[in-house]
């Protein structure tokens, strides 16, 4: 187990390197920036409490992503989350074209939404996504293909 100084350094570096990415992943589930930020904050608290030891930075990032996904799913299951009427999120900071695509991605079924996000926005390969989501690569490929098809229908584009 690392000493407290090493753990704090490690946590600070993880926050700097991965916060934005983890918030985007949580947002794909929760469709709320505030809820996504809260989930990521809880993930980093778990990181601090458990003080996991990682083999590499890729292992650390995979752990953080998996923990973010699990925490987001737990939030979705709560009665409070299901019964509230969330304020619609505005993506006005994105260029109009990106906003349209992101809205279409967020409208996808969650089994397509996360693989699309991990592949196109985070740059993960199908094999890496399969490992993160605990699925077979062929299944991830199917989710990506179906997600792209749904996006094509929603946006009306031909080159996705």
What residues contact 68, with CB distance under 8 A and at least 6 apart? 22, 25, 26, 39, 40, 43
For residue 114, the model assigns a pLDDT of: 84
What is the pTM (predicted TM-score) of this model?
0.59
Residues 136 and 75 in one domain: no
Residues 70 and 103 in one domain: no
What is the C-alpha separation between 148 and 90, in angstroms, rounded? 23
Domain boundary among 63, 87, 111: 87
What is the C-alpha separation between 67 and 75, in angstroms, rounded? 12
Residues 43 and 105 in one domain: no
Residues 102 and 151 in one domain: yes
Domain boundary among 54, 87, 120: 87
Residues 45 and 82 in one domain: yes
Residues 116 and 138 in one domain: yes
Residues 158 and 137 in one domain: yes
Residues 82 and 106 in one domain: no
For residue 142, the model assigns a pLDDT of: 92
Q: Which domain covers residue 38, as residue numbers?
A: 1-87
Q: Which two tokens stand for residue 121?
A: 């926005």
CATH number at residue 130: 1.10.10.10
CATH number at residue 33: 1.10.1740
Residues 51 and 20 in one domain: yes
Report which DSSP code applies to 102. H
Residues 127 and 143 in one domain: yes
* Locus of tokens 């229908």: 153
Residues 33 and 60 in one domain: yes
For residue 43, the model assigns a pLDDT of: 94
Domain boundary among 58, 87, 116: 87
Domains identified in the chain, total number: 2
Low-confidence ranges of the chain (pLDDT < 50): 85-88, 90-96
């Amino acid at each position: 187990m690392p000493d407290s100084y090493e753990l704090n350094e490690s946590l600070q570096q993880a926050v700097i390197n991965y916060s934005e990415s983890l918030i985007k992943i949580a947002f794909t589930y929760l469709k709320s920036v505030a809820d996504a930020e809260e989930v990521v904050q809880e993930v980093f608290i778990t990181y601090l409490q458990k003080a996991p030891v990682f083999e590499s930075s890729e292992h650390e990032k995979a752990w953080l992503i998996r923990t973010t996904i699990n925490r987001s799913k737990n939030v979705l299951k709560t009665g409070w989350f299901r019964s509230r009427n969330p304020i619609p999120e505005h993506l006005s900071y994105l260029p109009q074209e990106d906003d349209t695509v992101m809205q279409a991605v967020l409208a996808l079924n969650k089994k397509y939404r996360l693989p699309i996000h991990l592949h196109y926005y985070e740059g993960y390969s199908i094999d890496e996504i399969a490992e993160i989501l605990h699925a077979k690569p062929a299944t991830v490929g199917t989710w990506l293909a179906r997600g792209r098809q749904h996006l094509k229908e929603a946006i009306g584009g031909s080159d996705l």
